[in-house]
Structure 1
Amino acid sequence: MVASPKSSPAGAEPSRERSAPGLGDENVLVDETTALLKPGTAIQSTEEIHKDDEKPLPKFQIMLLCYARAMEPLAFFSIFPYVSQMVQENGNVADTDVGFYSGLIESLFSVTQAMVMVLWGRAADRFGRKRVLVLSMIGVTVPTGLFGMAKSIQQMIMFRCLAGIFAGPIVTIRTMIAEHSTPKTQARAFSWFAFSGNLGMFFGPLMGGALANPAAQYPGIFGDIAFFKNYPYALSSLVVALVGSTAVVSSALFVEETLEKTPTPESNGEEAGAHSLSQSTMSTRDLLTSPGVGSALYIYGNLMVLAFAFTAIVPVFWFTPIKFGGYGFTPLQISLMMGLNGAAQATWLLLVFPPLERRIGSKGVIRLCGYAYPAFFMLLPMGNVLLRRGTDASVNAFWIFMPTVLVLGCGVSMSFTAIQLLVNDVSPSPRVLGTLNALALTCMSLLRAVCPASFTSLFAIGAGTQLAGGYAIWILLALLATPLSYVVRYLPDRKKAHKRQNSQDN
C-alpha cells in the first residue's frame, strides 16, 4: 500500500541536494513524490513469491545428494564389525586394552569432524557448494579406502583422522538440499535426506562384517589371493571407497551449484548493500546470537543426545538378561528388532512426516515428539516387567506389546528431520546457511564421540546396582527429553508468518 504524497509548500523549489537511490543521475530532481527505485528494478512480488513456493522439487538433484550423503555414515560405521580384531592383530595388545583402542579409533572420526566442520561450512558459503562437496568427498574416500591396509594402530588412527578432516560433504549436502527446496517441498526433501543417512548406517556394518577377512570367510573365492591374506580388511574398506568414488563422479558431473541461485538482498542503495555485506560476512558470535539460533541449536543438541544414547543403549538393553532389567534377546532376535526399528523409522519419515509437517509445522512436530519421548522411554522397561512375571500369558503379551511400542515409538525420529528444517528457518541469511549447518553438525560430531560410551556405561552401572529396579537409565532419558516441548516455543514460526503475509497481500 502506497501513502498519498504530501503537497509541497507553495513556491518551494524541488531539492537538488541528493539523487534518488538507484537512479544514478545527479541531475535528477528529487522531492517527496520521487520514486525511490527506477522502473525495471528487480523486486520480488507476491506473485513471484507464490511462484517460488510452487516450484517442484528437483528429484534428480535430491537423489544425487542423498546418494552422496550416505557415504559419511557408510564410512563411519563400516569398520565397527572388525575394528576390535584389527586392533588386536595390528597392535598385539592385551584383550583388556582392545576396547580402549577400538573406542578411540571409532571416536576420532567424529572428534576430528567437529574440529573442522565450521571451516568447511564457511568454505561452502564463500567458494560454492559443489566445489567443496566434490573436494571433501574425495578427501573422505581416499583414507577410507586405505584404512583397511593399515598395519599398525598409529596408521589406523592417521587414516581415521584424515577421513574426519574432510567433513565437508554432510555440511554441504544439508545446505544444498535446503537451497533446492521451498517451504512446501523441504519436508519431503529432508525426509529422503534422513532416510539416506539411515541406509548408510544400515549397510555400513553389513558391508564391513560381510567383507572382512574374505580369505577366511570365502576361501573358495579369495583363499588363494595373497593380498587379502596380508591385508584381511582391505576388501571391506576398498568396497566402501568404491561406493564413495561413484558418489564423487556423480556429484562432479551432475550435481548443480546452488549458492549462485540463492536469493540475496539486492543492493538498492548504500543501506541495502551494507545489509547484504553484513549478512554474508557475519561472525560466528553474531550468528549464534541471532533470533532463534540458540534455541534451535539447543534443541538439535538435545535430540542428538537422545538419539545417540538410545542407539547405543538399546542393543545392550535387548541383550541384557531379564533379571538385570533387559529382554535377554538372542543375536538373531536383536537383528530382527533392529530391522523392525529401521523399517518403522523409514515409514514415519517417508510417509507420515511430510503431510504431518504441512499440517502442524516443524515446531508442532517437535512439540509432539517432545511429549512422546518420555512416554516411549518409560514404556520400554514395561516389557521387562512382563518378562519377569514368567507366565505364558505375560510372555505372549510381551511379544504383542514390545513390537507395537517400538513401531509407534519410532515416530519420535521425525523430530530429527523437523529440527533440520527449523535450523534452516532461523538462518538470518542464505549466505550463512552453510556455517549454521556446520555449527549444528559440530555439535552432533562431539556428541557422537562422547554419548555412546557414556550412556552404555551408565546403563551398565544401573543394571549392576539395580538402581530403580535396573530402569534408572530410562528415567534419565525421559528427564532429558522433558525440556523439548518447552524450548521449542521460543523458535520463530516462519510457516505461520509466511501464511499470514500471504493473506495480507491477497
Structure 2
Amino acid sequence: MRMAEERETLLLKKKKKPFITRTSSSRHYKEDCPGCKIEQLKDSNPGPPVKHFFFLWIVVLCAALPISSLFPFLYFMIRDFHIAKREEDIGYYAGYVGSSFMFGRALTSVLWGMVADRYGRKPVIMFGTISVVVFNTLFGLSTNFWMAVCTRFLLGSLCGILGPMRAYASEVCRKEYQALGMSIVSTSWGIGLVIGPALGGFLAQPAEKYPNIFSKESIFGRFPYFLPCVTISLFTLFVSIVCYWLPETLHNHNGKDDSCDALEAATNESNALEEVKNSGGEVSTSFMSLLKNWPLMSSIIVYCVFQLHDMAYTELFLYPLVVRIVGPIMVSRIGAAISIPLLSSYPHIAMLSGVGLALVVSSASVLKNVLSVSITTGLFLLQNRAVSQEQRGAANGISMSAMSLFKAVGPAAGGSLFSWAQTRQDAYFFPGNHMVFFALNLIEAIGLLLTFRPFLVPPDDNLS
C-alpha cells in the first residue's frame, strides 16, 4: 500500500516537473547533467576520445611551461636585482624564487581539488589558465627580488590545473584507455618541462642576443626576461579560450530525481556502493575518508618518494599496452628495479670520452627519463582508481600538495649532498659523486620496497 502511494506521488511530481532521462545499456542518463553526457558518449563510442585527449595535451602543456622556463635565466635575473652581496650568494636567492612556486602549490592543491569536486573540473582549469596568463606575465616584469618571489608564489597557489586534469584524464575515457590518458598527461608535462627551459634560454635578454631585432629602449630591453614569459602567457591565453569548449565530467545531480526510472537507478547505485563497502571499499565522501583510504594514501607516498628522486621529461608510447599486460604496479616496480643499476653506472660513464661519452650519456638519460615517467604514470592510475569521482579532485589535490613539498625539499637536499660529496673525493667508501648516486639509489630502493604489500594496496576496481 505504501509503495503504491509513493509511486503515485512520484507520478504527480512528474506531471508538474518533467524529468528527462535516456537509457542505454541499462544505464540511466540525466538530460542536463554534463557528467551523464560524458558517460553516454563513452558508452556509444568504444574508441579513444581523441578530441578530449587533445584538450588534455594542451592544457597540461601550458601548466608545465612556466615551471621550468625561468631556470636558464634565473641566475642572471637575481644578479640584475643586486640583492646578492657576493656572486656566491646568487644561487641562495635563486633557490627561494625557484621553490616559491612549489611551496605555493603545496599549500593550495588540496583546496583546488575540493573545489573541482564541488563545482566541476572546468571552472578550476579555466581559472588556472587565466592565473598563468596574469602572474607569469607579471613575473617577467619583475623589478626586484620580492616581486619575483611573490608572483611565482601566487602562480603556484592559483594554478590548480594538474590535479583536476589528472582526474579529468581518468573520467573522460573508458577504463581501457585510462592508461593512455594518464600517459598523455605525463607526456605533455614532460615535454613542457623540456620546452620551457629552451624557450627561457633562447628568448631571455633579447636586446643583447638579437640587437638587430630588439632595441635596448624597447620593453624587451628594459625588461630582459619578459619575452619568454609573455610568449608562454600568449600560448596560455589561447588555451584558456580553447577551454571554453572543454566538456565537464562532474555529475550534476543536486536535486532528487523525479521519475520512477531515476529512483530505480539511484537504488541500483546505492546497492552497488553497499557491495563496495561490504568488500572493504571506502565510499564516504568526507575529506577525512580520503586520509583513511589506504590504497590512495599508500600510492601517494610511493609517488612522492619517486618524485623526490626524479622528475619526468619524456614518455614511452608503448606504456598503455604494457600496463594492460602487467598492470601499473608491476610497471612501477620494473622501472625502479632497472633504475638502480642504471644510476650506479653513471660515475663509471664519466670515465668515457668523445663521441662514446655523448652517446652513452644520452642513451642513459633517455632510458632513465622513460623509466621515471612510467613509474609516475602507473601511480597516477592507482591514485585515480582508488577513489570515486566525487572524491577524485580532492585526492589529486592531496597528491599534488605532498609531491610539491617533496619537490621543494629535493633541490636543497640535492645541492647540500653534492657540496658535501665534493669534500670527500678521496674517501674509501663511495668517494665523491659515487656517494651522490648511492643516495639516489637508496631513495629509489625505498620506493621499490614500498610498492609491495602490505604497504601499497591496490585499489578496488569497483570504484574506477
**Structure 2 partner of 1:283:** 286
> What amino acid sits opposite 2:334 in the alignment?
L
Could you tell me which residue of structure 1 aligns to residue 349 of structure 2?
383
Indicate yes or no: 2:187 matched with 1:195: yes
Aligned partner of 1:288: which letter?
A: L
Aligned: 1:306 with 2:298: no
The 1:399–1:222 alpha-carbon spacing in structure 2 relative to 1, beyond 3 Å, is closer
After superposition, residues 43-442 of structure 1 pair within 5 angstroms as 44=27, 52=43, 55-94=46-85, 95-223=87-215, 225-252=217-244, 254-260=245-251, 267-268=266-267, 282-308=285-311, 345-346=314-315, 349-350=316-317, 352-384=318-350, 386-387=351-352, 402-413=361-372, 414-427=374-387, 429-442=388-401
Q: Among 403, 408, 412, which residue is 1:449 paired with?
A: 408
In the TM superposition, residue 487 of structure 1 has moved relative to its aligned partner by 2.8
How far apart are 1:375 and its partner, in Å? Answer: 1.7
SS at structure 1 position matched to 2:347: helix
- Structure 1 residues 291 and 82, CA gap change in structure 2 (3 angstroms): closer
SS for the counterpart of 2:176 is: coil
The change in CA–CA distance for 1:488 and 1:270 in structure 2 (over 3 A counts) is closer
Show structure 2 runs of 5+ residues with no match: 10-22, 29-38, 254-261
Aligned partner letter, 1:300: Y
Taking only aligned residues, the RMSD between alpha carbons, in angstroms, comes to 3.4
Structure 1 residue 113, shift from structure 2 partner: 0.7
Query: Residues 353 and 273 from structure 1, CA distance in 2 versus in 1: closer, same or farther, beyond 3 angstroms?
Result: closer
What are the ranges of 5 or more consecutive residues in structure 1 without an aligned counterpart? 1-15, 27-39, 312-341, 388-393, 499-506
Question: What letter matches 2:67 in structure 1?
Answer: F
- 2:76 & 2:440 partners in 1: Cα distance? 32
The number of residues matched between the two structures is 416
Deviation at 1:438, TM superposition (A): 0.7
Q: Give the Cα–Cα distance (whole angstroms) in 1 for the partners of residues 199 and 24 of structure 2.
A: 56
Residues in 1 aligned to 2:195 and 2:356: alpha-carbon distance in whole angstroms: 32
- 1:270 Cα deviation from its structure 2 partner: 11
Q: Secondary structure at the match of 1:87?
A: helix
Taking a change above 3 Å as real, the CA distance of residues 144 and 364 of structure 1, as seen in their structure-2 partners, is: same
- Alignment-mate amino acid for residue 148 of structure 2: M
1:324 is aligned to none
Task: Give 1:401 deviation, angstroms.
Answer: 5.1
Assess if the C-alpha contact under 8 Å between 2:27 and 2:265 holds in 1. no
* Paired AA for residue 475 in structure 1: F
- Contact 2:298/2:457 (CA < 8 Å) preserved in 1? no
CA distance in 1, matches of 2:447, 2:70: 33
- CA shift, 1:274, in A, is 10
Output the amino acid matched with 2:384.
N
User: Distance in 1 between the 2:410 and 2:458 partners?
Assistant: 31
1:215 Cα deviation from its structure 2 partner = 1.4
* Rounded Cα–Cα distance in structure 1 between residues aligned with 2:184 and 2:331: 17
Q: 1:395, CA displacement in angstroms?
A: 7.4
> Aligned residue for 2:431?
469
CA distance in 1, matches of 2:291, 2:197: 36
Q: 1:478 is matched by which residue type in structure 2?
A: N
Say whether the 8 Å CA contact 1:125–1:432 is kept in structure 2. Answer: yes
Matches within 5 A, 1:14-53: 19=3, 24=7, 44=27, 52=43
**Cα distance between partner residues in 2 of 1:433 and 1:446:** 20
SS at match of 1:222: coil
Asked if the contact 1:215/1:223 (under 8 Å) is kept, the reply is yes
1:189 to 1:261, Cα distance in 2 relative to 1, 3 A: farther
Please give the alpha-carbon distance, in whole angstroms, between the structure 1 residues aligned to 2:207 and 2:354.
43
Kept after mapping to 2: 8 A contact 1:79/1:205 = yes
2-structure distance, mates of 1:246, 1:161 = 23
The offset of 1:457, in angstroms, is 1.9
Q: What residue identity is the alignment partner of 2:394?
A: T
> Structure 2: how far apart are the matches of 1:53 and 1:356?
26
User: 3-state SS of the aligned residue for 1:220?
Assistant: coil
> 1:469 is paired with a residue of what secondary structure?
coil
Contact 2:216 2:222 survives alignment (8 Å): no
The CA deviation at 1:44 is 4.7
- 1:488 aligned onto 2:451: yes
- TM-superposition CA deviations, 1:129-166 (whole Å, max 9, x none): 11111012111220101111121212112211221121
How far apart are the structure 2 equivalents of 1:493 and 1:196? 26
Q: CA deviation at 1:279?
A: 7.9
Q: Whose RCO is larger (CA < 8 A, sep 6+)? A: 2
Q: How much has 1:79 moved relative to structure 2?
A: 1.4
- The 8 Å contact of residues 62 and 189 in structure 1, kept in 2 or not, is answered as yes
How big is each residue's C-alpha offset from its partner over 1:95-123, in whole Å with a ceiling of 9 and x where there is no partner?
A: 23322221101100110111011110000
- Higher radius of gyration, 1 or 2: 1
Alignment TM-score, normalising by the size of structure 1:
0.74
1:320 maps to: none
TM-superposed deviation, 1:235: 1.6
CA shift for structure 1 position 183: 2.2
* Cα deviation digits, residues 282-333 of structure 1 (max 9, x gap): 333221211412211111111111115xx8xxxxxxxxxxxxxxxxxxxxxx
Identity percentage of aligned residues: 26
